[in-house]
Amino acid sequence: MASVAQGASGSPPGGLDSLVNLRRLLPPLLSLVLVLGAPTSAAAQDAAVAFEHDQPTAWGESVYLLGDLPTLGAGDPTRALRMVPDGRGRWRLEVALPPGASYRYTYLLRHNDPRRAGERANARRVAPILGTLAPGAPPAPTRARLTYYSGWRGGWARVHDADATREVPLRDAGPGRHPGERRWTADLPRADGEVAFDLHDGAGDGDRPAGGDLYRTGFSACTLADGQLYQGDRAPGELAARPGGRLERVARFPSTNLGNARPVWVYLPRGYDRAARRYPVAYVHDGQNLFDPGALFGGWRLDETLDRLIAAGRLPEVIVVGVGNTRRRMDEYAPDPDGGQASRYGAFLSDELKPWVDAAYRTRAGPEHTALVGSSLGGIASLYLGWTRPEVFGRVASLSGSYWLRSWIERPGPAPPGLRVWLDSGDQGPTADGLEGTLFARDQLLRRGFVLGDDLAHTVARGGRHDEASWRQRVGDALRYLFGP
């Protein structure tokens, strides 16, 4: 990953009028290619840019980076990125940007009070607006192969992007699943990101997803059948017989390491019973709250989120293992340096549960295909176990992590190679959903070489609270970051 430093110091402050919309203030920029509507992947961003700024601050203030790219806040001061202080007046932040992208940026002072986090007026510009290019060449345009099952006698895929709408003819590739249906293919122009398209037969009949939006996917090859998108070029026998996934449940999965037993739920994606392929796996804590709509505070309804994202082509088919908690939840989830026994719980996951899952189901067993996901105490447990067992768990999502437990996160040790981490919180409630603790954890990772937008994603959900309803809204984005196209 290329790296370049951008810096500014001793520069004059500016008024808030220039912060209302940084895009509007600036001359037109080059067209930028990004993954739309989702955290971008490391494959799409390979230019790590280090920003530095010297700035004295008062108590409770921090320096923030704001730019016109979505990755840099898109000109909205409430989405600006807090920088990391070195204790001597210098603030630094490394962010992955699209190679070759033209962008403008500046530095702000904002007060850290969570009650003011959503105020656009809580910002004072302390540097000029600068412009430059991210290192590297813009990615060359590519094509996404579409396979389409339809009873049409011909037709076109209509590709929509910021510059134009393009018609691509469908090519007859042979019989479909039943008499009267054909299998069509087309190569859709795409840049490094999602391709948005719909289809029509030229005689007034069209195909759009429910709700009238466009089909959108980041897969380099996809199949569309019955309104659902699939990753890759799927033969008729590989298409799902039912639109959603299914659940299996083990009432009592015993653990020798922990000396207890717990329920385990396994979500199998829609195509599991039809295709002999292997799937990545996410192990999610507090399994009792994940799938049952009658669970505490309505639960996560995670199966609904998975079905929706997979059918829309926004998430690859993935197996999710819901790991039930026990009366010893606090001990099992808290890191060892904080007085807990998370290492024993981790041994249960890696040495007992995971081998059974890998033997019973068609999984992709490597760490790059294995995630830990959790909220609150489950959030800090996920990061702790990913950090201490990276040879097993290479993907981590920590939602509203309990980073008020400080003993481990203050001294986490060297960063394990290859780990990919999602951190988030809300900003509402008595403790603002642990916003400051999550930022502290983020800074600890950044100081150890993680790069925002590459192997680390951090987001603040404005209005989010420490509850199932908020985690239900955010878990889809977290999974897309860990496993997305």
Dump pLDDT digits (tens) for 38-56: 333 334 456 899 999 999 9
Side-chain half-sphere of 83: how many Cα atoms within 13 Å? Answer: 28
Strand pairing partners for 207?
Answer: 199
Residues 205 and 121 in one domain: no
Residues 157 and 304 in one domain: no
Domain membership of residue 220 as a residue range: 142-238
Residues 78 and 100 in one domain: yes
Residues 57 and 175 in one domain: no
Specify the pTM.
0.90
Residues 406 and 469 in one domain: yes
Residues 392 and 462 in one domain: yes
The predicted structure's pLDDT at residue 139: 80
Residues 170 and 293 in one domain: no
Radius of gyration of the chain from Cα atoms? 24
Number of separate domains in the chain:
3
Of 114, 133, 152, which residue is a domain's last? 133
Chain mean pLDDT for the chain? 89
3-state secondary structure 433-482: HHHHHHHHHHHHHHHCCCCECCCEEEEECCCCCCCHHHHHHHHHHHHHHH
The predicted structure's pLDDT at residue 7: 57
CB within 8 Å of 9: residues ≥ 6 apart: 53, 54, 55, 127
Does residue 14 surpass a pLDDT of 50? no
Q: Domain containing 475 — which CATH number?
A: 3.40.50.1820
The predicted structure's pLDDT at residue 202: 93
Q: How confident is the model over 377-396, as a mean pLDDT?
A: 98
Of 238, 255, 283, which residue is a domain's last? 238
The predicted structure's pLDDT at residue 46: 60
Residues 361 and 424 in one domain: yes
Does residue 22 surpass a pLDDT of 60? no
Q: Domain containing 64 — which CATH number?
A: 2.60.40.10
In the numeric block, the tokens 């060359």 are attached to 140
Where does the pLDDT of residue 13 fall: very low under 50, low under 70, confident under 90, or very high at 90 and above? very low
Does residue 475 surpass a pLDDT of 60? yes
Residues 191 and 305 in one domain: no
Are 391 and 351 spatial neighbours (Cβ–Cβ below 8 Å)?
no
Residue 132 — φ and ψ, nearest 5°? Answer: -165, -175
Sign of the Cα torsion 458, 460, 461, 467 reads positive
Residues 467 and 346 in one domain: yes
Angle between helices 302-311 and 468-483 (to 10 degrees): 40
Are 447 and 409 spatial neighbours (Cβ–Cβ below 8 Å)?
no
pLDDT by residue (tens digit) across 319-345?
A: 999 999 999 999 999 999 999 999 999
- Report the share of the chain in percent with pLDDT over 90: 79
Q: How far is CA 480 from CA 41, 121, 261, 395, in A?
A: 9, 32, 31, 11
Of 221, 238, 255, which residue is a domain's last? 238
Tell me which residue of 427, 422, 424 sits closest to 465, measured CA to CA: 427
Residues 198 and 165 in one domain: yes
**Exposed / middle / buried, residue 24 (Cβ in 10 Å: 0-12, 13-18, 19+):** exposed
The predicted structure's pLDDT at residue 26: 38
Backbone φ/ψ region at 111: left (φ over 0), alpha (ψ -120 to 50), beta: beta
Are 468 and 299 spatial neighbours (Cβ–Cβ below 8 Å)?
yes
Does residue 410 surpass a pLDDT of 90? yes
pLDDT by residue (tens digit) across 281-322?
A: 999 999 999 998 888 778 999 999 999 999 999 999 999 999
Residues 120 and 147 in one domain: no
Q: How far is CA 391 from CA 43, 215, 350, 368, 397, in A?
A: 22, 37, 10, 9, 17
